[in-house]
Amino acid sequence: MYSELLRILRGLNNYTTILMVIIVGIFTLLLDDRKFKQKGYIRELKILKIISYSYIAIGGLMYILLLVM
């Protein structure tokens, strides 16, 4: 069962997908961060940072898993 799950994940993930996930996290962090600060949306900015860093971390983990598999 574990090997089947890894096979499915490998089929879904390729380097383009991983790169897109990381780029979305970085651009969201860089572009929206400034806008939220200007408008004074502090709580939303914290949520945005959590989501952006999560995207970057998930992309990194997907890359590592793809190398290991």
- Report pLDDT for 49: 92
- Report pLDDT for 54: 94
SS3 41: coil
Residue from 69, 62, 50 nearest 16 by CA: 62
SS3 32: helix
pTM for the structure as a whole:
0.73
Instruction: Say which residues have a Cβ less than 8 Å from residue 32's Cβ, sequence separation at least 6.
Output: 48
pLDDT at 1 over 80: no
How many other C-beta atoms are found inside a 10 Å radius of the C-beta of residue 21?
20
**Domain count along the chain:** 1
Mean pLDDT of 1-10: 71
Question: Which amino acid is residue 3, in one-letter code?
Answer: S
- Per-residue pLDDT of 20-57, as tens digits, reads 889 999 999 888 888 898 999 999 999 999 999 999 99
Q: Which residue range forms the structural domain that includes residue 63? A: 2-68
